[in-house]
A and B are shown apart, each in its own frame.
Chain A
């Protein structure tokens, strides 16, 4: 089944403790992206990647890192999480940028205390 898989689904952590949210897609998509969703704000882009080893900042990149060492994986790294990063995170992929529909993962609900 074609899908975008995120892990974990839920995560509670403490301020300052590094964490990684994984994202993997099995559709050979070139484009991958991370979003966060907060009440009243809608989905906002954190980082995106047009292909392997090519990443760029979205609208709200502060406090996050990403890497794209292989086509299928696009992990989101929080080096020193803070409470304002408590949010619902989604990974998405697309065959080739904006001209195609996106497939979203099921989401990761992160709470930083």
Chain B
């Protein structure tokens, strides 16, 4: 069964600090892995999308890594800001049209 597991479930950090969120998956056949940021009550917004051949991708202060051999990904946030407080969702796509497997998200709270 395709699964995406994220850790930690929630995280509190001080403004200006860095943090790393983890994602492990068992989706096959693998097509790509995405990280989304979701503010409370709003739609998810794409941060990065990586295919099998990519092992790192950045979007401003967000850097995602992918290890396709161990089926792990991480999202590193640098110099956190209050506006980074949100849920971060790891999503893995298999080849084809229909199937995205969503993680349950990591809730990040950046405290002043």
Binding site for B on A (CB under 8 A): 4, 31, 40-45, 48, 50, 56, 58, 88, 90, 92, 97-99, 101-107, 109
Contacts and interface: CB of A to CB of B under 8 A. Distances in A.
Contacts, number: 60
Interface in B36-94: 36, 41-46, 49, 89, 93-94
Contacts of B102: 42-44
The 3 closest A-B pairs by CB, nearest first: A104-B43, A98-B93, A97-B97
A90 B43 contact: yes
A101 B49 contact: yes
Contacts of A41: 104
Chain A contact residues, majority secondary structure: strand
B41 to A, nearest CB: 6
A55 B4 CA distance: 25
A102 B89 contact: no
